[in-house]
Structure 1
Amino acid sequence: MDFSFLEIVGIILVVGIVGFYFLKLDTKTKNDQQKVELFADRKKEALPIKLQAYERMLLFCERINPIKMLVRVKPKSDVVDEYLYLLLQNIEQEFEHNLVQQLYISDECWNVIITSKSAIINKLKHIAATSKNTQDFREKMMLAYQNSSPATDTAIAYLKKDIKKFI
């Protein structure tokens, strides 16, 4: 079998092109596999952060639950406006402390929490406007939630439903 110089160059060229193609394909496959592994690792690392954010927002909802807040935050005087201010300040401090958690929870869930917070504030203001003193205010708040659940319960239920997507 005598091959001419051109035939040898042609064979070498074909083998080189085929080899280059397989090498390129192998490199692309390895890069794709590395990307998938990196994405999976990032997702694994992000899960605990997401879970912690949901936990903190659930705790926020529990802390601004009006009934629990009235038990925890005692009035310093008999003036309703001062007590209302203290309660609203408490809610805002809790909220500011957890503000960054919106990065890790879904937008819908964040909106439910904001709506819940607003509903609680509005209810506090409404009942405060019709109360004579802090004792009257506290009694009216307890009665208001005796037969209905606070908006925080809705937010907590939504948080629980949303978290099931991750676990």
Structure 2
Amino acid sequence: MSDQIITFIMYCVPALIVGAVAFYFFRIHIENEDKKRLFLLHKENQKYTMPIRLQAYERMTLFLERMSPQQLFLRIPPHNFSKKEYEALLVNSIDEEFEHNLAQQIYLSEKLWNIIRTAKMATIQIIRKVALTEDVKDSQAMVEAIFKEFVEKATPSANALSHLKEEVRQFLK
């Protein structure tokens, strides 16, 4: 009886070892095939999403450029407006441009989107702060005061634009 058990074990142990090795290699093969399939799917999806993401980056670049004081004052010159009217025109222009590009946030990182939103709010805050200044009497004086704000420091839109460019560089790697 013990000879039969020993013989049975001698046949089963190699079979179990072969089965375990086969299972291990089969599992590794399946995992590699899954990774390959996911890589190919990701690569295929990138064909379609890359142009859309680049377009989103382009649109946000345009928004940031249009929001910069130099461009803003070229588009909305300070004719004979009161400072309150001019403030409202500038803020409305920035808000409309931002709302027009709201959908682009799904293609940008959350960090970049927050930087862009912060730049927008900072620009509006500076416009409002200058409009509340007693020394500023009309729209022309307002333009000059806003330009003085940015003589020694970069505009919020310029800072956001540098972050956007860095994210695009990382995306294209």
TM surpasses 0.5:
yes
User: Which residue of the partner structure matches residue 88 of structure 2?
Assistant: 85
Tell me which of 94, 102, 107 is aligned to 1:104.
107
Aligned mates of 2:118, 2:143 — CA distance in 1: 23
User: Which amino acid in structure 2 is aligned with residue 41 of structure 1?
Assistant: E
User: Which residue of the partner structure matches residue 66 of structure 2?
Assistant: 63
User: Is 1:57–1:101's contact at 8 Å kept on the other side of the alignment?
Assistant: yes
Secondary structure at the aligned position of 1:165 is classed as: helix
Alignment of structure 1 residues 11-160 onto 2, 5 Å: 32=34, 33-130=36-133, 131-160=136-165
Aligned mates of 1:58, 1:39 — CA distance in 2: 26
User: Is 2:73–2:143's contact at 8 Å kept on the other side of the alignment?
Assistant: yes
User: Is 2:78–2:143's contact at 8 Å kept on the other side of the alignment?
Assistant: no
Q: Percent identity?
A: 35
Deviations 1:29-84, CA, capped at 9 Å, x for gaps: 79734443222100232111111111111111000001221122123533110111
User: Structure 1: where are the runs of 5+ without partners?
Assistant: 1-17
User: Is 1:80–1:134's contact at 8 Å kept on the other side of the alignment?
Assistant: yes
Across the aligned residues of Structure 1 and Structure 2, the Cα RMSD in angstroms comes to 2.3
Greater than 4 Å deviation, 4+ residue runs:
27-31
Aligned mates of 2:144, 2:54 — CA distance in 1: 36
User: Is 1:113–1:155's contact at 8 Å kept on the other side of the alignment?
Assistant: yes
Secondary structure at the aligned position of 1:147 is classed as: coil
The TM-score normalised by the length of structure 1 is 0.78
Secondary structure at the aligned position of 2:80 is classed as: coil
User: Structure 2: where are the runs of 5+ without partners?
Assistant: 1-18
User: How far is 1:128 from its partner?
Assistant: 0.8
User: Which amino acid in structure 2 is aligned with residue 147 of structure 1?
Assistant: E
